[in-house]
Structure 1
Amino acid sequence: MSGQMKKSKILYSCYFARSREGEQFIPEHVFSLQIAGTLTVTDGVNRYIFKEGDYRLSRRNRLARFVKQPPEKGEFKSLSVYLDQETLRKLSEEWKIQPDKVKDSAHSVITLRDHVLYKSYMDSLLVYLQLPEDEQQIIMDLKVREAVQLLLKVNPEVKNVLFDFTEPGKIDLEAFMIQNYHFNVSLDRFAYLTGRSLATFKRDFQKIFHVSPHRWLQERRLKEAFFLLAEKKRNVSEIYQDLGFENLSHFSYAFKKHFGMAPTYLWNIHNNASLNAGSSSEK
């Protein structure tokens, strides 16, 4: 189950079962409270774990995987405020705020310290979310502004994150793709994050890898899948989403077409071989 308002800047999420996000791109800054359960976030470099009562700020224009784990016999619950660029630009002009010229942090998610102002704010959101939808919009727009004020008061260092309106510049495409091939995002997203139009991205990609992006991504993901199944003994159900495949059937079909065997067959061969080797050494 997932509770949310359409087109709202405030999102209340509730899940009974373990859940993963689909596309793994963060388009806007998001201020969140973990109410119940655990959220694990990985961005290819860092891993973050947020438990009940933790506050976080997820940064825009970042790639990350989100795994939502409900508590035992309970529900996963979180409350998030989307800090859209339009609102932040208006506040930057209104409050005369400019970011400092400092080195950008590599962290995709910023852990925020607990504070009574944050708690009061989130408690008020839960009350307003009970109002009829047609009465929520004006209030919620004001609550987004309030969230920015609180973040600047409690964690003033986030000023350099919230009011940095620069777009991704042109970067090393080869290094970026090798690090981020496993994220399930569209080519448009990859192009944007490398500072290119889609047409330029495809042209540059062909020059570097001598193959189309779609083909390279699938072959790179399948190669990693083979390694994880054969060498790391990972289960099929554990890896297909981590490697950017939409679903298990798509992954199994692509794997069998490429390697001539089902991924479960490969896993069984290597897993049984390890078990037999272990039994022989004990004799």
Structure 2
Amino acid sequence: MDFHIKYITPDIKLSTYDDKLFKTETVFEFHMLVWFISGETKIIQADKSYLFKAGDIFLIPRNHLATIINYPKNGLPHKAVVMHLTKEKLKDFYSNIEIPEKNIHQEVKIHSFDKHPLLESCLASLIPYFDMKDSFPENIASLKITEAISILREIDKNIDSVLADFEEPGKIDLVNFMEKNYMFNMSLERFGYLTGRSLSTFNRDFRKIFLTTPQRWLTQKRLELAYYHLIEKNKKPSDVFMEVGFEDLSHFSFAFKKQYGFAPSLVK
């Protein structure tokens, strides 16, 4: 795997990936503003999938589970400029801005800005700084992040509902959350955090509700979803295993055969 990241500040980076495919399941602790230079990315969330290509600009909100699959394309590497919109930066930005309470805590989703010229100009202006030998001046970095936030607010009047929401996850309904998000291959600690629980409380609540261990339940649900994709959607095992939460094809094939008595490659 050939993966390179250049930082001009801790919150602004250029990532380059040359291998065939890179997949991760993650929850970002800050909002990510991304501009694609080349390659493709598929982002899978509980209720929707997205495919982003060269030139696309999008915002991934914090504290939301997603499977991210990066691909080189047309002989070019997967390459993107990424800006972290941290809670600290956003609190500073919004410190003198009055936001009505009704505009906060709305539905959070990935926001696509469809190659918007103002955002593209802002992010493209960062490219020369990645080749600088001297450190990137912090005051310029701060201005660039402020510029990006200001443009987002100008082109999306509802973006404050995302950017100005500083609350952490509270204790939520475990059944509803797990039924929507079981396909994400996250640690149990992370599942606990996102449902407002410590690991021990998560395990205790889970056993009480589902009458089994989290790992057994997760494996069962992921195999059921894989079976559905293979039978009903006519997908190939190689196209399914990552989307349902398995790390590699051999582990998926072993678990699938153990559950159903035949290899996933034999599904017609």
Q: TM-score, normalised by structure 2?
A: 0.86
Matches within 5 A, 1:151-190: 151-190=152-191
CA spacing shift, 1:124–1:202, aligned 2, 3 Å: same
CA spacing shift, 1:96–1:103, aligned 2, 3 Å: closer
The whole-number CA distance in structure 2 between the counterparts of 1:18 and 1:213 is: 32
Deviation at 1:257, TM superposition (A): 4.2
The whole-number CA distance in structure 2 between the counterparts of 1:199 and 1:137 is: 44
Which position in structure 1 is the counterpart of 2:35?
33
Letter of the 1:73 counterpart:
G
Matches within 5 A, 1:104-253: 104-132=105-133, 135-136=135-136, 138=138, 139-253=140-254
Question: What does the per-residue CA deviation read over 1:60-118, in whole Å, with 9 as the maximum and x for residues that have no partner?
Answer: 1111222333332222222110111122122222x344454237444520112544332
The whole-number CA distance in structure 1 between the counterparts of 2:76 and 2:4 is: 15
Instruction: Give the SS at the match of 2:246.
Output: coil
Instruction: Give the SS at the match of 2:256.
Output: helix
Q: 1:97 touches 1:163 (CA, 8 Å); kept in 2?
A: no
Letter of the 2:265 counterpart:
W
Which position in structure 2 is the counterpart of 1:81?
83
Deviation at 1:39, TM superposition (A): 2.5
Q: 1:99 touches 1:160 (CA, 8 Å); kept in 2?
A: no
Percent identity of equivalent pairs: 37
The whole-number CA distance in structure 1 between the counterparts of 2:226 and 2:156 is: 41
The whole-number CA distance in structure 1 between the counterparts of 2:3 and 2:148 is: 23
Deviation at 1:205, TM superposition (A): 0.8
Which position in structure 1 is the counterpart of 2:265?
267
Which position in structure 1 is the counterpart of 2:54?
52
The whole-number CA distance in structure 2 between the counterparts of 1:232 and 1:120 is: 41
Deviation at 1:213, TM superposition (A): 0.8
Q: 1:99 touches 1:163 (CA, 8 Å); kept in 2?
A: no
Letter of the 2:86 counterpart:
D
Instruction: Give the SS at the match of 1:32.
Output: strand
Q: 2:174 touches 2:195 (CA, 8 Å); kept in 1?
A: yes
Q: 1:99 touches 1:161 (CA, 8 Å); kept in 2?
A: no
Letter of the 1:215 counterpart:
R
CA RMSD in angstroms, aligned pairs only: 2.5
The whole-number CA distance in structure 2 between the counterparts of 1:113 and 1:240 is: 30
Larger-Rg structure: 1
Q: 1:229 touches 1:267 (CA, 8 Å); kept in 2?
A: no
CA spacing shift, 1:214–1:156, aligned 2, 3 Å: same
Of 12, 15, 25, 2:14 maps to: 12
CA spacing shift, 1:10–1:172, aligned 2, 3 Å: same
Q: 1:26 touches 1:62 (CA, 8 Å); kept in 2?
A: yes
The whole-number CA distance in structure 1 between the counterparts of 2:59 and 2:75 is: 28
Deviation at 1:211, TM superposition (A): 0.7
Instruction: Give the SS at the match of 2:196.
Output: coil
The whole-number CA distance in structure 2 between the counterparts of 1:115 and 1:256 is: 47
Which position in structure 2 is the counterpart of 1:278?
none
Deviation at 1:141, TM superposition (A): 4.2
Which position in structure 2 is the counterpart of 1:67?
69
Letter of the 1:85 counterpart:
K
Which position in structure 2 is the counterpart of 1:23?
25
CA spacing shift, 1:223–1:155, aligned 2, 3 Å: closer
